[in-house]
């Protein structure tokens, strides 16, 4: 694992990726700090982070697009498979390298509240609570980006899909207001979702029967729930969209709440996508 970690870090600093990522993050947070803390003279650094998290939409996919896609394209994944290291080592090493890259600009950002505290009253607890949540949210998005990169050998595609998904996640709360909250709307949305997941199962596992079984079971379950108690389905889609939003949970920290459920949520998202990345890499051995 340390070998992969060192190798990844070296290659990031060889190329521009690390610098572009760091520069974008610092520039965006810097602009935010100038607008809120200096121009508007607000003493809450967390507002800057809440403004700055939009930058993740662009920089996380840029950072993660090549992490596994490039290995596949250059066929260097063959080397990783033949070395006496496990797939878990590979994914853990690569993920830690990404985290290190992310922590460097974040370490610089961590000084900002202290600097501002020299000139006024800064709520350091909420500031650092928010920086912590900012780190966790970024880490979760990086895990997502890495998983997307593991699915393809095309960097551009990985970046595009990454941007689309993170952007959707960013706006999912606002979008949820426009989504139908009736039971019928939920049933329709669930059907579409079940079919989509079925299609993914079909493509990923190659087993048509499994996909059909999943779709039929899912549709039946939805119909039974709808038959027994339609009120259970009311407002389901908007609330799911809100619940899945990584950004929405971050705003709780900005508002001064150290939300443990959000911490657990971020850690679960990280765990889930790292697990899926390992599986995605393992799958190539079993094609």
Partner 1 sequence: MIQVEHLTKYYGDFPAVKNLSFEIEEGHVYGFLGPNGAGKSTTMNIMTGCLSATEGHVKIDGHDIFDEPREAKKLIGYLPEIPPLYLNETPEEYLRFVGEAKGLRGAELEAQINEIVDLTGIAAVRGRCISALSKGYRQRVGIAQALVGKPKVIVLDEPTVGLDPIQIIEIRDLIRELGRTHTVIFSSHILSEVQTICEKILIINEGRLIAFDTPENLKKTLSSDSFIRLTAETTPEGARDILANIPGIAKLETKTEEGGLVSVTVSTNAGNLHSVSREIFFAFARRDKALLEMTLKKASLEDIFLELTEKSARGKSAKKRAGKGEKAS
Q: How far apart are CA 59 and CA 27, in angstroms?
A: 12
Q: How many residues bind partner 1 (CB under 8 A)?
A: 25
Binding mask 157-196 for partner 1 (x = CB under 8 A): ----------------------------------------
Q: Does 101 bind partner 1 (CB under 8 A)?
A: no
Task: Give the Cα separation of 234 and 239 in Å (integer).
Answer: 10
Measure the N-to-C terminal CA separation of the chain; round to a whole number of Å: 25
Longest dimension (CA), the chain: 66
- The minimum distance between CB 287 and partner 1, in angstroms, equals 7
DSSP string, 9-33: HHHHHHSSHHHHHHHHHHHHHHHHH
Chain Cα centroid distance, residue 285: 26
Is 268 near partner 1 (CB under 8 A)?
no
- Closer to partner 1 at the Cβ: 7 or 216? 7
Q: How far is the CB of 201 from partner 1 (least distance, A)?
A: 17
Residue 195, token pair as written in the block: 């079919």
Nearer of residues 83 and 221 to partner 1, judged by Cβ: 83
Cβ of residue 245: shortest distance to partner 1, in angstroms? 37
x/- track of binding to partner 1 for residues 15-54 (CB under 8 A): x---------------------------------------
Task: Give the residue, chosen from 20, 23, 38, 79, that forms a contact with partner 1 under the rule CB under 8 A.
Answer: 79
The correct pick among 13, 38, 76, 120 for binding partner 1 (CB under 8 A) is 76
Question: Which tokens in the block code for residue 170?
Answer: 């960013």
Q: Does residue 255 bind partner 1 (CB under 8 A)? A: no
Q: Is the dihedral of CA 274, 192, 69, 164 positive or negative?
A: negative
Q: How many CA atoms lie within 13 Å of 181's alpha carbon, on the beta-carbon side?
A: 10
Say how many residues make up the chain.
287
**CA atoms of 63 and 146, how far apart (whole Å):** 9
Contacts to partner 1 from residues 196-225, by CB under 8 A: 206
Q: Footprint of partner 1 on residues 122-161 (CB under 8 A)?
A: none
Q: Residues in the site for partner 1, rule: CB under 8 A? A: 2-4, 6-7, 10-11, 14-15, 74-79, 81-86, 206, 285-287
């Amino acid at each position: 694992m340390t070998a992969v970690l060192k190798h990844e870090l070296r290659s990031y600093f060889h190329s521009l990726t690390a610098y572009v990522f760091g520069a974008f993050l610092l520039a965006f947070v810097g602009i935010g700090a100038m607008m809120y803390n200096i121009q508007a003279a607000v003493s809450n650094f967390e507002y800057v982070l809440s403004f700055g998290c939009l930058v993740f939409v662009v920089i996380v996919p840029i950072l993660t697009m090549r992490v596994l896609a490039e290995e596949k394209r250059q066929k260097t994944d063959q080397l990783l498979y033949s070395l006496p290291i496990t797939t878990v080592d590979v994914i853990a090493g690569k993920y830690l390298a990404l985290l290190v890259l992310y922590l460097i600009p974040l370490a610089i950002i961590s000084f900002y509240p202290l600097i501002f505290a020299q000139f006024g009253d800064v709520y350091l607890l909420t500031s650092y609570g928010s920086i912590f949540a900012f780190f966790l949210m970024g880490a979760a998005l990086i895990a997502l980006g890495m998983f997307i990169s593991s699915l393809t050998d095309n960097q551009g595609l990985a970046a595009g899909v990454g941007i689309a998904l993170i952007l959707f996640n960013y706006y999912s709360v606002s979008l949820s207001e426009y989504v139908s909250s009736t039971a019928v709307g939920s049933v329709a949305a669930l059907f579409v979702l079940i079919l989509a997941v079925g299609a993914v199962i079909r493509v990923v596992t190659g087993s048509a029967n499994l996909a059909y079984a999943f779709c039929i079971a899912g549709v039946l379950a939805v119909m039974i729930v709808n038959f027994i108690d339609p009120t259970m389905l009311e407002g389901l889609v908007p609330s799911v969209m809100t619940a899945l939003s990584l950004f929405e949970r971050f705003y709780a920290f900005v508002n001064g709440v150290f939300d443990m459920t959000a911490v657990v949520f971020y850690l679960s998202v990280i765990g889930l996508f790292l697990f899926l990345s390992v599986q995605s890499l393992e799958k190539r051995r079993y094609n």
